[in-house]
A and B are shown apart, each in its own frame.
Chain A
Amino acid sequence: MMRETSLPRAAAPFLGFARLLRRHAFAIASEQVSGFMQAVTLLGPRSMNDIREAALATLAPPPDRRDEFEAHFQSHFYGNTSAVVEADADEETRIKDDGGADDERIEAEHSQEGGELSSALEQLSTRDFQRDDDRLTAFRRKLSTALPARRSFRTVRTHSRGKLDLRRSLREIVSADGDVPSPLLRRRQTVPRKLLMLIDVSGSMKLHTADYLKLAHAAVQGADRAEIFTFGTRLTRITAALRIRDRDQALARAAAQVDDWDGGTRMGPTLLAFLSVPRFSSFARGAAVVILSDALERGDHAELEMAMRRLSARAFRLSLATPLAGDPRFRPVTAALRAILPVLDDLVDGSSLAGLTDFILSLARPAPAAATIWKRVS
């Protein structure tokens, strides 16, 4: 406070803008604020545009929050509070730190859902809840060691079967006055592959999305690198929300980010949108990709087929878990499923948490391709 009063009055609006951004969960460091003011001075400023450019260059808002940044700029410097603050639908949704209104919305959604579900179902889920919780805890513990592994380009020390680590060996030699002790070795590190889960939140999956999100939370908590997206008519990245350790808080945050709960599905277009954002599609590269969906694509399935082929080309293993496969009479006979079956590594039952956790924990074990298995069954 003392420092602030000694600053010239002209600096106040800039400091105020940085404070406003911080209140809306933009990570702004003090050195960025001083950089902002230096930049404004360097540019003149000759116009408001100079101030905007200086703010963009020094406060560095992430590209997917540029619209929100612009709205705050408008409201702070122009007093225009009507500017709409909305994130881009195809990009990562913003992280909301100050819940307030959003918490109320989640409450409303929950009570609505409760009213719509039959009481018998509610009782059933309450009875299973404890067992599911134990199962998810065990799943979280086992996950990081159960995922398929790959060799990284980073190296670690080893006692056998490695390459000579000259750098450290030489240090040993020098400290031993030129004597040659046993040489130190290094080998390439083994790291778990990424886990990418794409969760269908459309109306037809309504009964399963709550379980899937719990599973996703356990996956993010347990795996070194897990990425979670939801899709329906839009695509939303909810990984950041699920990093919160407390499950209820994490799920509430994730629920607030998803705008297309219980709506329709545009599986093909949303997966193509996922693939066309380089940052997102790189999550799929070399990863174990698990899609939790009934894959009931309405209309033409050409886009779904193309998206799945592309995902399969990037992924280490591409799996579709559908709740429909819980029925013993299920066969992949819809046009969409028939089209994507050849590119799937697994087509498994996604109707229960028990089955899903066991399946994800078995991803490192080789299995015949989905088409082979389902051909045998039908």
Chain B
Amino acid sequence: MPEVNAETVATSPEAVAQHLAASRYLADDSLATAIFLAIRLGKPLLLEGAPGVGKTEAAKAIAELLGRDLVRLQCYEGIDAAHALYEWNYQRQLLAIRHAGEHEIDIYDDRFLIARPLLQVLKAPEQRVLLVDEIDRSDHEFEALLLEFLSDFQISIPERGTIRAEAQPIVILTSNRTRELAEALRRRCVYHWIGYPDAEREAAIIMLRAGDVAEATARAVAAAVQTIRARPLAKPPGIAEAVEWANAATILEKGGSPWPEAFRRAIGVLIKDEEDLSYIAPELGRIVEEAMG
């Protein structure tokens, strides 16, 4: 993957959108602007939105367009410095103390330091793209821990002092908004709310992402998915599910199922909650037929 200078890619929001499209990611004007600003202002990008709208995919696409390695930190409840920043290799330290005998030994040497994603990014000689995924799953203490990293791209290790980034990373944070993030975190970032795409954009995404799907099928899937999302479902289908539905229905149709039937039979890849399935089932035939026009 050839490395690209971020400044040459991010000349304008339109240029960013074009480069993302080349990486098979269709961004609307607003998202392209947010990415452009995050790169040019050198700030982290905070992407919020419902599950399945393409937040993580956006981070992957940014890494691809810049030709950088993506380092991913998946957040969860209870994540702390030892999982995100660094950890000492205690067993090796103990062995070293034993072997050293009467000799002096620095047990806080690099040999004993296990770099976790944030430290890996700071220590990398070349610029990396860091994805802090689902930050809303972590607890408030972890958010506070991230603040120093996000504002100055540095972390403090009590035994070693402060480590600054050799090359300032591009940081993307994602949140499903299952809880409110701290204002201190939000104001350090360029912010963008990703909503579900409109039917036309979703059809274009399906065409781009699905293997062998006709344009009419993609349009029908996009229209039907918009209607289904408007229902009060426990797990509204994301874009990836829409792409899978289009793919699955196409395979079934080629296998001999007529069109509306192929959509109905493939519904399991779109809706993955049993109660949602039974809720939508009585209406599904009508929704598909209306979507097919």
Asked if B254 is at the interface of the complex by the 8 Å CB criterion, the answer is: no
Partner of B178, one of A38, A63, A279: A279
The 8 A CB mask of B37-61 against A (1 = contact, 0 = none) is 1101101001010110000000000
A68 to chain B, nearest CB (A): 14
Stretch from A54-62, A195-203, A324-332 at the B interface: A54-62
B94 near A: Cβ within 8 Å? yes
Asked if A278 and B90 make an inter-chain contact with CB atoms under 8 angstroms apart, the answer reads no
CB distance from A298 to the nearest CB of B (A): 18
- Report B-chain residues with C-beta under 8 Å of the C-beta of A309: 275
Contacts of A267-281 to chain B: CB distance below 8 A: 269, 272-273, 275-276, 278-279, 281
Q: How far is the CA of A28 from the CA of B190 in the complex (A)?
A: 13
B238 CB, min distance to chain A CBs, angstroms: 12
Stretch at the interface among B181-189, B199-207, B243-251: B181-189
**Alpha-carbon distance A200/B205, docked complex (angstroms):** 42
Chain A, residues 11-29, CB within 8 Å of chain B (1/0): the string is: 0000000000000000111
Specify the chain B residue showing the minimal Cβ separation from A30.
Answer: B187
Look across to chain A and name the residue whose beta carbon is closest to the beta carbon of B108: A174
**A339 to B80, alpha carbons, bound, how many Å?**
44
Query: Is B176 in contact with chain A by the CB < 8 A criterion?
Result: yes
Interface residue from A28, A54, A170 paired with B94 (Cβ < 8 Å): A170
By the criterion CB–CB under 8 Å, are B232 and A166 in contact? Answer: no
CA distance in complex: A330, B278 (Å) = 33
Interface string of A302-330 (1 = CB under 8 A from B): 00001001100000000000000000000
A178 within 8 A of B: yes
Main secondary structure of the interface of B (DSSP, over half): mixed
Q: CA A269 – CA B231 in complex, angstroms? A: 11
The answer on a CB contact under 8 Å between A38 and B275 is: no
With A58-B190, A170-B90 as given contacts, are A276 and B33 in contact (CB-CB < 8 Å)? no
Q: Mark A323-362, 1 if CB is under 8 A from B, else 0.
A: 0000000000000000000000000000000000000000
B34 at the interface (CB under 8 A from A): yes
- Asked if B78 and A58 make an inter-chain contact with CB atoms under 8 angstroms apart, the answer reads no
Picked from B30, B93, B179, B232, the residue with its CB within 8 Å of the CB of A276 is B232
Residue of A nearest to B98 (CB): A178
Measured in the bound complex, the distance between the Cα atoms of B109 and A163 in whole Å is 26
- B149 proximal to A (CB < 8 A): no
Q: Does A80 contact B (CB under 8 A)?
A: no
Chain A neighbourhood of B183, CB < 8 A: 27, 29
CB proximity of B199 to chain A, nearest CB, Å: 20
| Chain A residues closer than 8 Å to B232, beta-carbon distance | 269, 272-273, 275-276
Complex Cα gap A272–B33 (Å): 35
Collect the chain A residues with CB atoms within 8 Å of residue B41's CB. Answer: 35, 38-39, 42
Q: Taking the complex as formed, is B289 at the interface, i.e. its CB lies under 8 A from any CB of chain A?
A: no
A57 close to B34 (CB less than 8 A): yes
Residues 237 to 286 of chain B near chain A (Cβ within 8 Å): 275, 279
A29-B279 contact, Cβ under 8 Å, with A53-B29, A278-B51: no
With known contacts A153-B78, A310-B275, A282–B178 Cβ distance under 8 A: yes
Asked if A48 lies at the interface with its beta carbon under 8 angstroms from chain B, I say no
- The answer to whether A306 touches B275, judged by C-beta atoms less than 8 angstroms apart, is yes
Partner among A63, A173, A272 whose Cβ is within 8 Å of the Cβ of B48: A63
Instruction: Tell me whether A125 is interfacial, beta carbon within 8 Å.
Output: no
Cα–Cα, bound, A53→B178 (Å): 25
**Distance between Cα atoms of A101 and B251 in the complex (Å):** 61
A153-B77, A310-B275 given; name 20 further pairs at CB < 8 Å: A27-B187, A38-B41, A42-B40, A53-B34, A56-B34, A57-B191, A57-B192, A60-B186, A60-B191, A154-B141, A173-B94, A173-B97, A276-B233, A276-B234, A276-B236, A278-B176, A282-B178, A282-B179, A306-B279, A310-B234
Residues of A within 8 A of B (CB): 27-29, 31-32, 35, 38-39, 42-43, 49-50, 53-54, 56-58, 60, 62-63, 66, 152-154, 166-167, 170, 173-174, 178, 269, 272-273, 275-276, 278-279, 281-282, 306, 309-310
B residues at A contact (CB < 8 Å):
13, 29-30, 33-34, 36-38, 40-41, 43, 46, 48, 50-51, 76-78, 80, 82, 88, 90, 93-94, 97, 107, 139, 141, 176-180, 183, 186-193, 232-234, 236, 275, 279
| 11 A-B contact pairs sorted by A residue (CB < 8 Å) | A35-B41, A39-B41, A42-B40, A53-B13, A56-B34, A56-B192, A57-B37, A58-B190, A62-B180, A282-B178, A306-B279
Q: Which 7 A-B pairs have the closest CB atoms?
A: A153-B78, A60-B191, A282-B178, A272-B232, A166-B90, A53-B33, A29-B187
